[in-house]
Amino acid sequence: MGSKGPEGKPDDGLSEIMLEAESFLTKLLTINPPAPSDPIVRKLNTHEIQHMQHEVMPDDHPRDLSSVLQEAMAIFDNRMRLTHPHCFSYIPACPTSLAYLGDLLTSICNVNAASWDVSSGPSAVEKAMIAWLGAQLGLPDSVGGCFVSGGSMANMAAIIAARDEVLHPRQRGDAVIYISDQTHISILKALHITGFMDYQVHKIPTDDEFRIDVDILRRAIITDRQSGRVPFLLVANCGSTNTGSIDPLHALADLARDEGIWLHVDGAYGASIALSDRHHDLIDGIGRADSVSWDGHKWLFQTYGCGIVLTRDVHSLRRSFAVDAEYISSTLAPRDNTNFYNLGPELSRPARAMSLWLTLRTLGRQRMGEMIDQGFLLARTADGKIRQYKNWIIPAPTVASIVVFRYAPPGIDEEGLDTLNKAISQRLLSENIAAILTTKIRGRTTLRMCAMNPLVKPETIEDLIRQVDILAQSEASERHKSYPKMAKMLHAHCQERPGVDVFQHSH
C-alpha cells in the first residue's frame, strides 16, 4: 500500500490492486471446466455457516487483497457446480466462455442501460436484439421488450402488461387467470405481487403428455363467463420445468383469439428451441402469443441475470411502465429512440443484452442451435438407455432435454417407491456420481434430469445411466434386507403390548 502513480503522487495502492486484479482475472479465465471426478456440490454444515458468518465479515481494518480474494474463492467453493458434466439438477446454467467474457465486459463498462442518453450504444443493441429474438419466435415487427433479471421478472412484466391492456380497473376483482397443473411457480408469485388472489387462478388439468387440456379449458372459460367472472389471461407452457412439456400453442392461440384473452407463453426454458433447425417445429405457434418470457441463462448459455420479456406490440409495455420526470427527460435523444426504463419495471439497470449479443455475434445462430440440439441428443440417449434396464418407468414423454424416470421394482407399494427413489437421488449426490434430483409426477416421487451442457457426450450419459441402475439395485436390495429385521422388531414390540395388531408385510 502507499505506492505512487505515474507522476510520483500517492495512489492509495491502486496500482497494486490493479496488478493483483489482472493476475486474478487471468487465473479465473483460464480455469478448466470441472472434471467428472471433481465434487459436484459442496455445502456448508451448520457449524461452518456460523463460522463463516463470524469470520469473514468486514471489520475496522483493511486487509490484503490477495487474502480477501482467497476468502472469496473459498466462499464460492461451497456451491453446486452446474457446469459439472454430471450435474443435471434443476435447469442448470452452463455459460460459454463468451458469456463469461461478455458479463465481465458489461461489469467493467458499468453502463446504466436505463436511458438512451447514458447508453446509446448498448441501448441500440438491446433494441436490435429484441427485434431479432422476436423474429426468431415469429413475432411481428411491432414486437417490443427488454432484458430483465430472469424469467420471474419477465413473467411479472408480461402479466402487468396483460392486466393493463385487457382489464378495466374495476374488473380486476372479477378477473380469471388460466394456468395448467404444470405452470411454473413464478407465475403464481407474479400474480400475487400484481394484486390477484388465489381464487382468481383457475388451474386446468393436463393430458397424458402433460399438456394443458384444451377442452377442459374451453368449458372452464364458458362456465366462468356465465357466472359473471372476466376471463382475461391464459398462460401456456413452452418447456415446463417438471417434464419439458410444450402446450398446444396453435390451439391455445385460436382459443385466446376467439375469447378475447391475452395469451402469455412462459418460454423461459423452451423458447430457445426456436434457434434449432432440427427441433424448432416443436414450438410452432409461439409467435401468435401476446407476450413471451425467455431466459438467456437457461438454454442460450448465458450467466445468471439474462431474462427477456417480449410483447407482440411494444405499446403494451410502454402503456404499463412509461414514466417521466424533469431529471430524466431526454433532450439529446433522436426520434424513435428507446428509453428502456419505459418498457420494464427497472430504472437503473445493467446492459444485460450485451453478453448475449457478444455470444451470438461470435458463434452465429446456427452454432447456437447445434448446442441446443446436443441437449435433445443427451436426453434421448438417457431415455433410450433407461428403457434397456429392468424395473424403470418413464412417466412422461421426453420432449426436449428433460427426462423423468422412476425405479419401480415389484413388491414395493407406491409410498415405498417414493422413499426408494428419494434415497437413490441422495446416494447419487453423496457418492458424487451425479446430481439427479427428484420431482413429483402425478404426486409420485420421480428422478429428474435436465441435460443442458453442450460439452457432455452421449457416451457419458450411457455410462451414467448404467451407474444409476447399479446403485438403484443396490439401494433396493439393502432396503429389502432390512424389512425382515424391521418386522421382527415390530413383532417383538407388539408382543410386549397386548391388543396391538401385527401387520403382515409381503415381500
294 and 400 housed in the same domain: no
> How many degrees, rounded to 5, is the angle at CA 427 between CA 422 and CA 431?
160
The mean of the pLDDT values for the chain is 92
Residue 6 lies in a domain: no
Reported as a single tens digit per residue, the pLDDT across 446-492 is 999 999 999 999 999 999 999 999 999 999 998 877 655 544 443 44
373 and 349 housed in the same domain: no
CATH of the domain at 412: 3.90.1150.170
Average pLDDT over residues 29-51: 92
299 and 432 housed in the same domain: no
222 and 181 housed in the same domain: yes
484 and 354 housed in the same domain: no
Residues near 347 by Cβ (< 8 Å), separated by ≥ 6? 114, 341
Reported as a single tens digit per residue, the pLDDT across 352-389 is 999 999 999 999 999 999 999 999 999 999 999 999 99
Reported as a single tens digit per residue, the pLDDT across 247-296 is 999 999 999 999 999 999 999 999 999 999 999 999 999 999 999 999 99
371 and 453 housed in the same domain: yes
CATH of the domain at 193: 3.40.640.10
Residue 93 lies in a domain: no
Average pLDDT over residues 58-62: 91
pLDDT band at 304 (very low <50, low <70, confident <90, very high): very high
344 and 456 housed in the same domain: no
Please, what sign has the CA dihedral across residues 20, 83, 363, 249? negative
All cell numbers assigned to 290: 401476446
Residue 24 lies in a domain: no
Q: How many structural domains does the chain have?
A: 2
Residue 500 lies in a domain: no
Average pLDDT over residues 45-53: 93
Report the pLDDT value the prediction gives residue 175, as an integer from 0 to 100. 98
Query: Distances from the Cα of 339 to the Cαs of 123, 146, 147, 349, 352, in angstroms?
Result: 8, 10, 12, 11, 14
347 and 202 housed in the same domain: yes
Q: What is the distance between the alpha carbons of residues 373 and 273, in angstroms, rounded to a whole number?
A: 8
Residue 486 lies in a domain: yes
pLDDT band at 163 (very low <50, low <70, confident <90, very high): very high
Domain that holds residue 411: 367-490
pLDDT band at 8 (very low <50, low <70, confident <90, very high): low
Residue 421 lies in a domain: yes
Amino acid identity, position 4 = K
- Across the chain, how many H-helices and E-strands are there? 15, 11
380 and 483 housed in the same domain: yes
Reported as a single tens digit per residue, the pLDDT across 335-362 is 778 899 999 999 999 999 999 999 999 9
Strand order of the β-sheet with 402-407 is 392-393, 402-407, 444-450, 437-441
182 and 105 housed in the same domain: yes
pLDDT band at 333 (very low <50, low <70, confident <90, very high): low
141 and 276 housed in the same domain: yes
